[in-house]
Chain A
């Protein structure tokens, strides 16, 4: 029994890792006032770029950074659309998600002459635990940055009361740019952990909605680093339990439908959003850039 629980805890932590990186990225962006529904897209390009870079350099660390930088590139495009050009952030985010799904097959066809997945990455070139450790400490780092540094305070003001920040002589636009790009990096790294930590290659649709689960965790955790971490762990647990329940018979109930466990995180998010279990308040200036 103890062994089973330890095993489950380890699986939870592993499966939460990509969610934590992506959700923290979303947190940085949204706390500065920029909506981020394109976490999914950034994870897709991050997962793909990390696999490609790891395959060509043989180093997962370089791959992880490559994944992050791919996220930054996509975030830069998003930034141009929503900051200087003032495109609607939700529409532009949707566009970025669409774009991200088109990029890996396009590039993979040129590089490897396949459109589905990259070649497999050998076990020696993959991570075993490192990203998991980073993921646990990341929310602590972000929490102390937000509440104990001047930059963190500026970031919060950019999201809550940008005109006060501007009156104090700080460039709100610059803060938001920094936040959007950082969010791209973190979401890209989150995607990278899918291809070079949780599995051994990039494959089509491997993010399977995790970017949106990360968004759900962000709302559930009310845009605060530590609660968001717990929300990610909870969704990771749901994922781990779902994998273990597949095909298991329960007394008097028959097979547990996997689909019900898969939709659980989304149901919980709706219930929370509807205010049935405590309200979740977004940063005040979210979406008005």
Chain B
């Protein structure tokens, strides 16, 4: 095998191995609850892939995770840590719901375009605020995105309940969007809500890959992430690149609104997201912030999400909350692996000792 091909493979294998260790630790924990970890593992796999419906649900979960994984990965390449995907996807979903309720007469092919643009724009605005604050006001994006997540939660709750409330139910949700905006479910997965949102998410990953690899802007974005001083010295407008990275990331997270509102519930249901935005963090980390890798790791996390849902019924003492523990173990293992690699590299080259 040529070293060209070997290097990315090795680069992908190490975090995968770390993830496997994290996964094993999480599943092994169930022994404390008196369960057989192997059986728990099999329940997860069967629950996620056992029937066409199960596989469809796994793909349904994978769709937002691909998008939030990209929403974390793209800014990461610019040296920024976007933990605001949760707020960005809420804003995207809100925009889709508002457009779908207030502009019911846009006809079918046009409506898809309108909803995609609305979702992207709202997410990009939310990400862009954090990007602007970082680039031009020096406010750390981690803190501002945490705060913006809460603000998005409050804002969406107010708009949904006060401005476009549901007419036909008592649930905390918006009115139903116009039928013109609804995406049809693919028939291959019985009734699971797999729609065009899935190919859209994969296409987005592909576009991000093209952007990073083959465009000047993409190159400038990566240069900003690799060394901000060198990039500035080379004449790259690093502030703009930081803002662009956050806005693009936010816009991509906003597209989750298409999968949920147009593809699943037909409305904005408060609390619809089982922390898709936060699960995007391990998705991106495991992929080492590679856009195509994010698709693969999103599938893995979707298996986990769907598979653990079966634990409630199939085991006595373990519930779907195990997913959170396993995800956390994977995050910690992958993060420690990255740190460990860095440490070894530093030991090998004592002359670049970090003096902090």
Q: Contacting B321 at CB < 8 Å: which of A88, A102, A263?
A: A102
The answer to whether the Cβ of A77 comes within 8 Å of any Cβ in the partner chain is: yes
Report which of B137, B324, B354 forms a contact with A275, defined as CB distance below 8 A: B137
B139: Cβ under 8 A from any A Cβ:
yes
Q: Judging by beta carbons under 8 Å apart, are A37 and B146 in contact?
A: yes
- B166 at the binding interface (Cβ < 8 Å): no
Min CB distance, B133 to chain A, in Å?
5
Q: How far is the CA of A212 from the CA of B151 in the complex (A)?
A: 12
Find B356's partner among A37, A266, A285 (CB 8 Å cutoff): A285
Residue B200 is within 8 A (CB to CB) of chain A in the complex = no
A270 to B147, CA, bound (A): 7
Of the 9-residue stretches A91-99, A138-146, A149-157, which lies at the interface with chain B?
A: A91-99
Whether the Cβ atoms of B318 and A106 lie closer than 8 Å is yes
Q: Counting CB contacts under 8 A, is A253 at the interface?
A: no
Q: Are B354 and A288 in contact (CB under 8 A)?
A: yes
Given A87-B332, A99-B325, A99-B329; A106-B340 close (CB under 8 Å): no
A98 and B321 contact, Cβ closer than 8 Å, known pairs A88-B339, A266-B151? no
A103 to B338 Cα, complex, angstroms: 25
The residue on A at minimum CB distance from B22 is A95
Report how far A95 CA is from B285 CA in the complex, Å: 11
Name the one of A81, A82, A100, A263 contacting B154, with C-beta atoms under 8 angstroms.
A263
Query: How far apart are the CA atoms of A35 and B23 in the complex, in Å?
Result: 26
| A101 to B322 alpha-carbon distance, docked (Å) | 10
Cα(A106)–Cα(B148), bound, Å: 30
- A163 within 8 A of partner (CB): yes
* Interface locus among A186-194, A223-231, A254-262: A254-262
Q: Is A278 an interface residue (CB 8 A)?
A: no
Given A37-B142, A87-B339; A270-B148 close (CB under 8 Å): yes
B326: nearest chain-A partner, CB-CB? A102
Distance in Å from the Cβ of A260 to the closest Cβ of chain B?
Answer: 7
Distance A99 CA – B335 CA, assembled complex (angstroms): 14
Q: A98 — which chain B residues lie within 8 A by C-beta?
A: 278, 324, 327-328, 331
Contact with A along B262-292 (1 / 0, CB 8 A): 0000000000000000100110010000000
Check: B214 CB closer than 8 A to any chain A CB: no
B81 at the interface (CB under 8 A from A): yes
Residues A16-48 near B (CB distance < 8 A): 37
**B318 CB contacts on chain A under 8 angstroms:** 106, 109
Min CB–CB distance B310 → chain A (angstroms): 15
A100: nearest chain-B partner, CB-CB = B328
Which single member of A102, A163, A266 contacts B324 (CB below 8 Å)?
Answer: A102
CB within 8 Å of B: which of A258-276? 259-260, 262-263, 266-267, 269-270, 273-275
B150 and A86 contact, CB distance less than 8 A: no
A199 CB–B CB distance under 8 Å: no
CA distance A228 to B322 in the complex (A): 36
In the bound complex, residues from chain B placing their C-beta under 8 Å from that of A99 are 324-325, 328-329, 332
Name, among A96, A101, A275, the residue most crowded by chain B CB atoms within 10 Å (CB to CB): A101
Interface membership of B96, Cβ < 8 A: no
What's the nearest-Cβ distance from chain B to residue A249, in Å?
14
Partner of B133, one of A100, A209, A259, A274: A274
For the complex, is A181 an interface residue (Cβ under 8 Å from B)?
no
Q: Do the beta carbons of A260 and B321 come within 8 Å of each other?
A: no
Pairs A-B, 8 closest by C-beta atoms: A102-B324, A99-B328, A95-B331, A86-B339, A102-B325, A288-B356, A105-B321, A263-B154
Residue positions of B touching A, CB distance < 8 A:
29, 32-34, 81, 83, 133, 137-140, 142-144, 146-148, 150-151, 153-155, 157-158, 162, 278, 281-282, 285, 317-319, 321-325, 327-329, 331-332, 334-336, 338-340, 342-343, 354-356
List 6 A–B pairs whose Cβ atoms lie within 8 Å, in order of A's numbering. Answer: A100-B328, A109-B317, A110-B33, A216-B147, A263-B150, A267-B147
Given A88-B339, A259-B154, 8 more A-B residue pairs with CB atoms under 8 Å apart are A91-B331, A94-B83, A95-B331, A95-B335, A101-B324, A257-B158, A257-B162, A273-B143
